[in-house]
Structure 1
Amino acid sequence: MIRFFCLAVAVFFSGSVVAQQVKVPSRMEFAGIKLRIMDDAREEIQKDVDALTASPKYFEIKAERARTYFPIIERIFKEEKLPDDFKYLCLQESALIADAVSTSNAVGFWQFKDFSAVEVGMRVDKVVDERMNIVSASRGAARYLHNNNQHFDNWLHALQAYQMGAGGAMKALPPGQEGAKSMTVSKKTYWYVKKYLAHKIAFENSVSQPGQIQVSEYYNVGGKSLKEVANETGVTEEELADYNKWLKKGKIPTDKKYAVIIPKGNLNLDIVASSETPKEEVKEKKQIEYTFDEPGVFPKIDDEVEARAGKIVDINGLPGIIAGRSDRIPALAQKADIPLRKFLKYNDLGIDGILIPGQVYYMKSKRGKAKAYYHVAQPGETLWSISQKFGIKLKKLKTKNRIREDINIKAGRVLWLRYIRPASVAIEYKESEIIQPIVEKKEPEVIEQPVDKKAEIDEVPIETEAESDSSAAEVIEELPAKEEEEEVQQDDSTVNIAGEVIEEIDEEMEDVAVDANLIKKMHEVKLGETYYAISKIHDVAVLDLLDWNDLKISDKLSIGQKLVVYTTEEAQGPIVKTVEKQSENSYHTVKPGETLYQIARLYNVSVQEIMKWNEKEDFNIKEGERLKIEE
């Protein structure tokens, strides 16, 4: 009751301050640049300031959110050497709502699209969306703004480029203002810049004091659930989930350092402080580089690595540990510091398996496809040894080659590593690519994994949707495996020998982007085209475009480069989805996962207006709720 009273008093007094109209000055400073604001621009900015401060109640809600999150943003911007003034941009972009989503599918505090977020180092997938993590997203925003400023050496222009992209800003902005220390803001100044100045003017005198709710970062979280973190820190799981919407499901991954946001209160601050700089054991690593420049290139582990038993290495982009002559599976799993069950699963082993000296064993799940497209089997190789060397799951390797059981692979056989071999393509052998081993001295005995000695007639046809349609593409490319999901969910691929209905090949296929209804096309890159521009031309996702072509967002495009694109029909250009505002006093039914911010963007109204029309006291909405939308 006391806390509620204090908050009410704060709202009252803040409101009385805001009620005295905030005036737009004729001169102000932004990021070290002195700005002269012309009368025509002042009039426009004043209208925005008046709109932002019109409701003391809603103004205070935003200001309170800024008081909560600004300390974190300020610290990160200081570390990234970004001007502190940019913190007000977050109010403009999302009103500091973690799960805000725009009509163009920009998400989170700083309104990043998925490919832009990936480009500045954020993780965006089914498990984690760092766009909704104030720490990760703010650091990403700082890097994005720095990247823009490399083109302009002018923070005001970098601000404009945040909304329209560096390429668009370079076309729109006049040259000769690099490094400017004073500038003029007029009616011709880009609207986004003036909107930002309105937010800075409206809020800068109301967010300096500490917030009613303060938050801290907690880093000792890898491999833990929010429930476990809640128990450690003394807050409720529900409260923790509300501040950490970036974790979509499961436990917090261990692939990088994540910050869980903890609201202070009954929190043991000693626990939080101790997690700021976790002391992690540094394990010796040696990078093993495999080359995949041509189909059939066989990766080799050199003698130096084979001699380093028990050492941790990177192989195929995954961590692994090298087995020694005296190692046994339980002991090696313990050395790798992972549970025995996971060690066996990651390496397709049974508990009674025998380790091969010098062989690398994975400490994380292998992938559903390899980086190479094909491999020619060499003398003495088994399906298991090939799956280990290329970092592909044994079951996936067999599926791609239509093999039902472990069989003795004949030297020279071409194995498919990235796609499923079509039923119409016969098994191929390349005797000319067999490399006979050179024996210079007696080699240590190599113990192969036990196999069922079946003839090659054990191969069976595997139907896919693409192959049942004669007009479909020849092959189906799988999406990359999600390692965290695979740790929990077993691979349940099944094959029906009698030709009955086949279940899904694996859990990743539920998200497969290439199916029988899609048409494979080639796109030739033209001057000035970007991944984003190409995705809009064909109405596909940027991340799908990258996956189909085995590219990273950082890879540069070249004129004339051919890209594979799968579409439902010939796209004529960007497809823009629009929502017309409905008639007076229409209603919107809340769909699963929708937020007030999304709905406001949908109808081109403000969150405050929706709250006013529906007499709402907070931002909470429920699935199926009917919201009034006035004309």
Structure 2
Amino acid sequence: MKNIKSQLFRRPLIQILFLLLSFETLAQVPQVPKEMQFADLTIRINEQARREIQLDVDALHRNQIYFKSKADRANLYLPLVERELRESGVPDDFKYLVIQESSLIPDAVSSSNAVGFWQFKQGTAEEVFLRVDNQIDERKNIVSSTRGAALYLKKNNTQFDNWMCALVSYQMGLGGAKAYFGSQFNGKKVVDVDRNSHWYFKKFLAHKIAFENHAGANFVSNTGYLEEVRIQGPSSLQDLSSRLGISEDHLREYNKWIGRGDIPSDKTYSVVYLKQGTPPARPIVAQRESSSTGQQQTQTPTSGFPRISGNQQSATAPNQIKVNNIEGVRAANSVSQASFAKQVGMKPNKFRKLNDLDKNDPVVAGQYYYLDKKATKADVANHVVMPGETLWSISQKYGIRLAALKAKNRIRDDIDLSPGMILNLQEPRKRGEDFVMVSGSEYRKMLEALSANQTQTNQATATSQTSTPASQPSTTVTPSTAPVTRTPEPVRTEPSRTEPARTEPVRTETTAPVRTPEPTRSTETVNRTQPSSTSSSSRTVHTVSPGETLFRISQNYGVSVDDLKRWNNLPDNTIKVGQEIIINPSGTSTQSRATTPSSTSSSGTIVHTVSPGETLFRLSQNYGVSVDDIRKWNNLPDNTIQVGQKITIIKP
């Protein structure tokens, strides 16, 4: 009887305690406001959308133990995410997107086989220069994958000038988002959210509301904090473990992107490990302080390199101009190395060596080339890497030997370059010294200056072409610092494939597929220039370079990955450096091996319809014109083109 009374007495206490806990949990759940800020946008939410978003916020907070665990994990990784977003010029609010995508679980895999922190599929990952193979998967590296996501988002935002549209494009892809939104939000700074607004954006708002008072810059993980070291291999985890004084198992736990235990030598990788205690004020990789002299000498896009002197009227003839005080010449047309070397009275091998060219690199119209040895150091101390630049284009810009540039910076390949990275042009970088990156705000100013300089140069060139007779002295124009790409690597054109996929299955939205118009046949066909050595008249053999993937090779040659695998009897997408890949063994392909213009007018103007895998560089080579000309003829702000886009070509 006594036990029964005791149980009856305890039951109400348990119910009261449960109610108190429920009220406490309810009090912790943030409420969806009528208006809020996201990036540089004001978001106005109507009542129906508020109720819908609130359901998601409530669901995220329902299990407080799970929610706090997720917030704590977020606070471990977000300092790194915030830094990469800041330096890439992407709004800080996008840090909540990585929580939405993967809950910051490094090896998360979705039902559609999207992987890692930012849930990239393999093709999309390779488009933003992440390495994905059986040795390394940078989708699981918080620094690399965040940098890739920032690049993807920033590139897409140039099409919308609206971060809400850019965010939705992360789920739909650029083509899908453009079809979904049209131009209705382009440039707008106020967005109204209602029942018809895209579900992905509403889900993002729910994550921002749920986590903004629990995760981010003002919060510290109870676990500790992540320390980052930047390593360029080859280096084993065992060696790194001894050097850092932490266990190999610990390194594996926090660096699941390393598949075989070794860090390769193809680029610099960020390795993270957990440290106990409170993080320092600047917890992530101390950056080298720049002296005032160094700041003054760091190259900005408007500094006027290469410097051209001499008789610029006759710049296309030898012995007329100097490029950075070295004998040089400007290419009048896009021709082969052998033809150009003959024009300037030089053997092809010598011309190739003076300009650090590979055997099959084309001579590009408008580009300056050297007729004497380049220097081992430049006239300025540093250069800030801009989008699209390569080690070769930088070496040509300053007249510094490519080998010297690589040696001074302890860098081996273009894949190691990141926009905003400061390269040494005079003094060598010390062994083990971290690369210095310019701040996000300073980098944005440089991009604006570069854009303004290119516009001014194009206007001056157009004025010169229309108003200056050929027999009269031409207007002197400072050469644009926009780099000429050395090899026909694809510009980051949006593929027809889907976007980085999400981790969780969601409501399906049907988007009408974008159809690529079939190009009309024309009497004139321009053969595609192949970016590798030809072993016979019927096939091409490509030797794999560090950082290359089957996807990138397929884009370079305008063929599919499946074709490459079939031609080479490859069981999967794995390839090795130095491996020879056969391209088009029978002389034909599932894709056309020639570019056919859509239509040709009697005046010599061609309208070309962009096909999958094509880039501005490839079109310029096919038609024998320069990339700058194509951009000028079509009023293109950058080198980005889309499948199905009509491109006007004026035949020379």
TM-score normalised over the length of structure 1: 0.48
Larger Rg: 1
Relative contact order: is structure 1 or structure 2 higher (C-alpha 8 Å, sep ≥ 6)?
A: 2
TM-score normalised over the length of structure 2: 0.46
